[in-house]
């Protein structure tokens, strides 16, 4: 039987799961591919670190050239993470004629144009199922399962760390800092969680979802993002009392005017399907023209779940090599349908968005304050749907809660900007957009 040699860059969480699955399912994979998959070498930083997986015949190396310059290696699996040196390794692998599998969303969202162009020119594959929603076969479903449909919108919980934190705050009433610490202790948040909690990781994934679903390339830096760090237990409790949960959503929608992309905390009605996505799970609600709504749900991270996605990609690439799958323009197969090069677009400005909002204004318990804030909202055309205030306790500031009608983003922004100049605010106003269950917007 033919052997396909593989080089793996990185043996951390995902690398370990990947090697484990390749070993555990060796016979089934061989039967599917028509070749034996042989991991020749694994690149790491520290060769003396204890590893949680049996390496078999693979050797650990700290020299990238042992993989990238080995003419026998046909598939390089990049699981180092980050931009550098991952980008150089991936480009070097492609230039040496090797197919690439990666779970690195930051790399593909930030530097994908160069990488995909290099792959496409050479008829090589760059597959990246593990980069969005971990093991849940979301990209494959969008690319293959919905190939006969037109995807109009996606609303996703694509960052398990943020979801875990918000979920813990909802269940226990914990403050953000305490929920983050619990997430770190449970292994659901990195020591430096910045990219997860500030919305950057979700923005990277949203850029890849827009590429696969809409065939457009977007600079992830241009995607509007708000993190979960400002969410207060009072917001969570108020949301709960009024029938909502707060979720960090990544939302993509295309219209005749263009593509809108955004990541921000959102109040989701408890009856909505995304309200039931708990802990570190991921989910993506897709709206496509013919099928309507479909939901993709599963574990968004972890060695074995992400390993499942990576190994599925390795199998697909290996089938291209053995001729069991079509080799025709493998580099473009990740692109939607036709394989046409994606158009580079700027996301629509957020100003164009209209939605209902939750505002929590923190003010002293004094006569006239309410009227001043309400008048400010009115001046900017922000209509109030309902409002209430918690019972005052002595001289302590009170939290005034306002739900707005569906109003343009620019009106809310202008009202909040004016209000921020008021000397009466005891701290900045909290604002959370509300999901409209009818439009999934």
Ligand X SMILES: NC(=O)c1ccc[n+]([C@@H]2O[C@H](COP(=O)([O-])OP(=O)(O)OC[C@H]3O[C@@H](n4cnc5c(N)ncnc54)[C@H](OP(=O)(O)O)[C@@H]3O)[C@@H](O)[C@H]2O)c1
Distance of CA 327 to the CA centre of its chain: 29
Scan for tokens 């046409």, then name that residue: 340
131 or 170, CB closer to ligand X?
Answer: 131
Q: How far is the CB of 302 from ligand X (least distance, A)?
A: 5
Nearest residue to ligand X by CB is 12
115 or 355, CB closer to ligand X?
Answer: 115
Do 288 and 212 meet the contact criterion of CB atoms below 8 Å apart? no
Best CA proximity match to 409, nearest among 204, 210, 224, 158: 224
Do 131 and 208 meet the contact criterion of CB atoms below 8 Å apart? yes
Do 316 and 324 meet the contact criterion of CB atoms below 8 Å apart? no
Listed in sequence order, the residues at least 6 apart from 340 whose beta carbon sits closer than 8 Å to its beta carbon are 215, 332
Listed in sequence order, the residues at least 6 apart from 273 whose beta carbon sits closer than 8 Å to its beta carbon are 283, 285, 295
Q: How far is the CB of 193 from ligand X (least distance, A)?
A: 13
130 or 342, CB closer to ligand X?
Answer: 130
79 or 412, CB closer to ligand X?
Answer: 79
Question: DSSP state, 35?
Answer: S
Q: How far is the CB of 176 from ligand X (least distance, A)?
A: 22
Active site residues: 205
131 or 404, CB closer to ligand X?
Answer: 131
Q: Is the dihedral of CA 92, 94, 97, 98 positive or negative?
A: positive
Scan for tokens 């996505």, then name that residue: 277
103 or 398, CB closer to ligand X?
Answer: 103
102 or 399, CB closer to ligand X?
Answer: 102
CA distances in angstroms from 250 to 33, 247, 269, listed in the order given: 35, 10, 16
Best CA proximity match to 112, nearest among 132, 97, 140: 132
Residue 265: both structure tokens together: 């905390």
Q: Which residues bind ligand X (CB under 6 A)?
A: 10-15, 43-46, 49, 79-81, 85, 103-105, 130-131, 134, 301-302, 306
CA distances in angstroms from 110 to 11, 87, 411, listed in the order given: 23, 10, 32
88 or 418, CB closer to ligand X?
Answer: 88
Q: What is the C-alpha separation between 63 and 296, in angstroms, rounded? A: 39
Q: How far is the CB of 92 from ligand X (least distance, A)?
A: 13
Q: How far is the CB of 48 from ligand X (least distance, A)?
A: 9
Q: What is the C-alpha separation between 10 and 39, in angstroms, rounded? A: 13
CA angle 411, 416, 421 (to 5 degrees): 135
Q: How far is the CB of 386 from ligand X (least distance, A)?
A: 40
Q: How far is the CB of 7 from ligand X (least distance, A)?
A: 12
Do 264 and 198 meet the contact criterion of CB atoms below 8 Å apart? no
Q: What is the C-alpha separation between 203 and 226, in angstroms, rounded? A: 10
Q: What is the C-alpha separation between 288 and 257, in angstroms, rounded? A: 18
Q: How far is the CB of 46 from ligand X (least distance, A)?
A: 4
């Amino acid at each position: 039987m033919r052997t396909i040699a593989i080089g793996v860059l990185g043996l951390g969480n995902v690398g370990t799961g990947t090697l484990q699955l390749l070993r555990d399912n060796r016979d089934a994979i061989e039967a599917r591919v028509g070749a034996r998959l042989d991991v020749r070498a694994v690149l790491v930083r520290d060769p003396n670190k204890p590893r949680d997986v049996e390496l078999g015949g693979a050797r650990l190396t700290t020299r990238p050239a042992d993989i990238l310059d080995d003419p026998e290696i046909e598939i390089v699996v990049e699981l180092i993470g980050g931009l550098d040196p991952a980008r150089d390794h991936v480009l070097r692998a492609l230039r040496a004629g090797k197919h690439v599998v990666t779970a690195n969303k930051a790399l593909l969202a930030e530097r994908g144009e160069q990488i995909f162009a290099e792959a496409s020119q050479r008829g090589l594959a760059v597959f990246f199922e593990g980069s969005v929603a971990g093991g849940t076969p979301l990209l494959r479903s969008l690319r293959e399962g919905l190939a006969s449909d037109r995807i109009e919108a996606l609303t996703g919980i694509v960052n398990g760390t943020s979801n875990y934190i918000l979920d813990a705050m909802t269940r226990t009433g914990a403050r953000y800092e305490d929920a983050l610490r619990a997430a770190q202790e449970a292994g659901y948040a990195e020591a430096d969680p910045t990219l997860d909690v500030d919305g950057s990781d979700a923005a990277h994934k949203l850029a890849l979802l827009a590429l696969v679903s809409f065939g457009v390339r977007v600079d992830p830096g241009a995607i509007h993002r708000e993190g979960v760090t400002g969410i207060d237990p009072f917001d969570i409790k108020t949301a709960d009392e009024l029938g909502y949960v707060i979720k960090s959503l990544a939302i993509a929608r295309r219209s005749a005017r263009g593509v809108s992309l955004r990541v921000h905390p959102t109040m989701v009605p408890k009856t909505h399907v995304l309200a039931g996505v708990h802990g570190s799970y991921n989910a993506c609600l897709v709206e496509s023209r013919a099928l309507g709504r479909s939901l993709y749900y599963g574990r968004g991270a972890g060695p074995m779940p992400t390993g499942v996605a990576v190994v599925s990609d390795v199998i697909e690439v290996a089938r291209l090599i053995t001729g069991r799958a079509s080799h025709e323009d493998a580099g473009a197969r990740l692109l939607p349908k036709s394989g046409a090069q994606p158009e580079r677009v700027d996301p629509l400005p957020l100003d164009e968005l209209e939605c209902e909002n939750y505002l929590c204004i923190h003010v002293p318990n004094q006569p006239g304050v309410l009227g001043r804030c309400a008048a400010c909202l009115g001046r900017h055309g922000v209509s109030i749907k309902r409002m209430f205030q918690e019972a005052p306790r002595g001289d302590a500031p009170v939290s005034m809660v306002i739900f707005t009608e569906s109003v343009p983003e620019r009106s809310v922004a202008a009202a909040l900007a004016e209000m921020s100049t008021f000397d009466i605010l005891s701290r900045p106003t909290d604002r959370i957009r509300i999901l409209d269950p009818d439009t999934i917007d």
